[in-house]
Structure 1
Amino acid sequence: MLKMIKGAQVTNGDSLTQGYNIVEGMISANVDADNIRNVFEGFLEINRNESLFLFIEVPSRLDDETVTETFEDGGVAIETTHNDVYYLDGISAAALRELFEMFYEILVNDGLSAFGVGNPYGEEVGKYKYNVMKLYSKEPEKYACIFESLGINKTDELITAWNTFSEKTPGISEKYSDSEGRDIYDIIEILSEEGLYKAEMRESE
């Protein structure tokens, strides 16, 4: 059974296991919560001499959305939801490891956001909702060794949490805060002082 991050719950997840497949320049994978950092470490090791970037994608704040209706209980209806995408450019693998030491607990366990790292050649790896990781490369096979070394094996048909969702078996993703009360938005504020910038506001999938 797949070990979920702390900010995600899957109602019908007993059949989910670690695994990956390769389709059209992308590796998609189910990865145990305890293994997500190891996948990033593998990518950083292969790209240890490159100038890398960090990206963080978070739900846009309500003030930036178009509210179409407000309800008596305080809830609102939004026309279209968006995510804010942030980048920190020109960062080394060593510096990214230091950043992970400080903020990894929040980055990996937050159920609403995505984050990842990439190199100058259009290759990147990211952690997305419900323990799904995606690695983009024109030659994804060269990165398959990362997953295989962690006991994450190739499968012809990858079943993710998204395949299990229905009206009766929903998934729950939520914001995560650490023992100090910090959340993903606090990380963005802290890293903004180090050069993190908002690149775009993207419509949610």
Structure 2
Amino acid sequence: MKMRKGACVPFPEKLCEGYARQAHSIIANVGADKLLDLFKSFILAHDELLFFILELPINRSDEIGIRSGVNEGLHKDIYYIDGCAQTEAMGIIEQYGQLLLNDGMCAFGFGGHLSHDELMVGKYNVVTGFSKNPSAFDKIFGELGIGLEKEIVTAWNTFNQEHPGVSNSIVTDGHSVYELPELLKERGMYFAERRQQ
């Protein structure tokens, strides 16, 4: 399975593509060469207004400023663009897809305002989806040759203290994902909240 450029895992041989369903969600491993096509299929399958979500880990100096104890988790900033038509959502993928795909730190995805279906990719190629009817994802994954499994092993299941994963922010065509909130401001991107990871 091809990893995102900004992601390094200790045991890549233990990972393979596939997805598993739960009551109202799915979890999947998806190769980097298929991720953008997965999002395009999701967008085209939802004839409704969509939202785009971007999650960025906060920078080190901000993190030090807000943490009060060593046991606290890290934080991330959440940004949205609401009310995207399918063409607008596809435009985000076409224009910024490689930047989003290459980066190992960010999480991003799309969701439907009416259906409340949502599809996101986070670190180490782990895709999560939410739907009242998770079998609706079968067609999208099936088109990409990604099979339904009883359970899957994600990169997170393979890490330990001696063998952690490593994720890095990657500059693509002179841009970083941390520039996206400003680059997408004219399209309606706004800061929603800061969350603990």
Asked if TM exceeds 0.5, the reply is yes
Q: 1:36 to 1:168 in 2, by over 3 A?
A: same
- 2:187 is matched by which residue type in structure 1? E
How many angstroms does 1:63 deviate by?
A: 4.5
Q: Give yes or no for the alignment of 1:37 onto 2:36.
A: yes
Query: Gapped runs of 5+ residues in structure 2?
Result: none
1:172-205 Cα distance to aligned partner (Å, 9 max, x none): 10101113x201011121112321001110001x
1:136 correspondence with 2:122: no
Over residues 7-63 of structure 1, what are the superposed CA-to-partner deviations in whole Å (9 max), with x where a residue is unaligned? 10011111211000001211111001010011111111111x311110000012344
Q: 1:37-186 maps to which residues of 2 (within 5 A)? A: 37-47=36-46, 49-67=47-65, 80-120=73-113, 121-179=115-173, 181-186=174-179
Residue 129 of structure 1 and its aligned partner are, at CA, apart by: 0.6
State the AA in 2 paired with 1:176: I
Q: Give the structure 2 partner of residue 74 of structure 1.
A: none
Name the CA distance, whole Å, in 2 between partners of 1:18 and 1:153: 7
Residues in 2 aligned to 1:64 and 1:25: alpha-carbon distance in whole angstroms? 35
Partner of 1:73: none
Q: Which residue pairs with 2:21 in the alignment?
A: 22
Matched residue, 2:193 = 200
The TM-score with structure 2 as length reference comes to 0.92
Matching residue's letter, 2:13 = D
SS at match of 1:142: helix
Q: TM-score, normalised by structure 1?
A: 0.89
Cα gap change, 1:156 to 1:79, in 2 (>3 Å)? closer
SS in 2 for 1:193: helix
CA distance in structure 2 between the partners assigned to 1:119 and 1:56 by the alignment? 15
Q: Is the 8 A contact 1:66 1:78 kept in 2?
A: no
Compared with structure 1, are the counterparts of its residues 200 and 68 closer, same or farther at alpha carbon in structure 2 (3 Å cutoff)?
Answer: closer
Q: Could you give the per-residue CA deviations for residues 137-169 of structure 1, whole angstroms, max 9, x where no partner exists? A: 010101211111211111112001011101222
Which structure 1 segments of 5+ residues have no match?
70-76
Summarize the Cα distance change of 1:78–1:59 in structure 2 as closer, same or farther, 3 Å threshold: farther
Higher helix share: 2
Aligned CA RMSD, in angstroms, stands at 1.7
Bigger Cα Rg: 1
AA in 2 matched with 1:30: N
User: % of aligned pairs identical?
Assistant: 38
Q: 2:183 aligns with which of 184, 187, 190?
A: 190
Amino acid in structure 2 at the alignment position of 1:119:
G
